[in-house]
Amino acid sequence: MNKILITGSNGLLGQKLVKLFVQNKVEFLATSYGDNRNPDCPSSYYQSMDVTNSTEVNQVINDYKPTAIIHTAAMTNVDQCESDHDGCDRLNVDAVQYLWQVAKSIDAHFQLLSTDFVFDGVKGNYTENDQPNPLSYYGNSKYKAEQLLMNDANLNWSIVRTIIVYGTGHNLSRSNLVLWAMDTIPKGGEMNVVNDQFRSPTWADDLAMGCWLVVKQNQTGIFHISGPETKSILDWVLTIAQHFNWSTNKVRATSSSTLNQPAKRPPITGFDLSKAKTCLGYTPHKMEETLDFLQDELNNN
C-alpha cells in the first residue's frame, strides 16, 4: 500500500502529481510552504510544510509516515540561484538532507527531482551514467543534493532528472517556455529566443507519470525522464507557432551571449531515455501531441 508525501505541491509538477494520485486513488499528503494554492487538491490532503525547517520536516513526516516522499520543491530560477547562494543551498541542498534523514528513519523511499543542468552541455543525449559537470550554481546545488544520496550506504532512493518542464497549473509562481509562447505570439508580442541552446522540453503530466512509475515499481537509482525530442529553444517556439498557424514575424533569434544572464547554461542537453522506457515503461508525448491539451486547459481555466 503506497502512501506518498509530495513536497512543492503548489508547483507545476506537484499539481500534476496531485491530479494523478486523485485520479488513481493513491493515498497522499500534499505539502508546500504556506497555503494550498491548488483548487484541485482537497484541503484534507494538504498540510503546510517548510522544507528548510528540519523540526517541521521531522514532525510532519513522522506524523504522516509515508512509504515514499517525492521531493519536487526547489529553487529553480537559475539566475536567482547565482545571486542568492545561501537561499539556493538552503532549499536545494539542506532541505534534501533533512528530508533524506527522516525518510531513512521511517524506511520511506526518497525521490529527488533533479535537472539536466548537472551536465556541462558539451555532448548532449545524456545517459544516467554520464559524469555531471555543472556550469551554474543551480546545477551545482542539484548535483550536491544528488551526492547526498549517492554517497549513502542506504540505497532506498531515486533521482529523477528532467528538462524544461511545461504545462498548465493553478496560481503558479512561475511561467514556462510553452505558456510564454502561447501567451505572447497570438497577441503579436515580441519574443527574443535563443537559437544556441538545445533542450528536450518535458510535459508536466508525463513527468508526474514517470515519477510515479519509479515509486510504484519500487525502482531505485537515477532515471532520466524528459520529452522525446531535442531541438533549439527557438525551434520549439517556432513549432508552437506553426501548430496553431500563428505568425512568427515578432519571434527573433538571438544568441545566449546577448542575454547577459548571470548563470551559464549548458548549450546542448537532451536525454537518452532508453533506461526509463525499458525499466519503467515510460512513454513520453511529443510536444506537438500536447499543445491542443494545453490550449483546452487554458480555455477551461
Domains of the chain with bracketed CATH: 3-170+202-228+269-284 (3.40.50.720)
Residue 298, pLDDT > 90, answer: yes
Report which DSSP code applies to 206.
H
* DSSP conformation class of 153: S
Note the pLDDT of residue 227. 98
Cβ pair 271, 161 in contact under 8 A: yes
Which of these, 14, 4, 28, 5, lies nearest to 170 by C-alpha position? 14
- 231-232 and 202-203 beta bridge pairing: unpaired
In sequence order, what are the residues at sequence separation of 6 or more whose Cβ sits closer than 8 angstroms to the Cβ of residue 212? 17, 20, 21, 26
Cell of 131: 559524469
Per-residue pLDDT of 111-168, as tens digits, reads 999 999 999 999 999 999 999 999 999 999 999 999 999 999 999 999 999 999 999 9
Angle at 171 between CA 165 and CA 172, to 5 degrees: 25
pLDDT digits 0-9 by tens, 30-69: 999 999 999 999 999 999 999 999 999 999 999 999 999 9
How far is it, in rounded angstroms, from Cα 65 to Cα 61? 6
pLDDT, position 277:
98
Q: What pTM was estimated for this model as a whole?
A: 0.98
pLDDT band for position 301 (cuts 50, 70, 90) = confident
Q: What is the mean pLDDT of the chain?
A: 98
Band the pLDDT of 85: cuts 50, 70, 90: very high
Q: What is the mean pLDDT of residues 223-228?
A: 98
Per-residue confidence band for 297, with pLDDT thresholds at 50, 70 and 90: very high
Question: How is residue 279 annotated by DSSP?
Answer: I
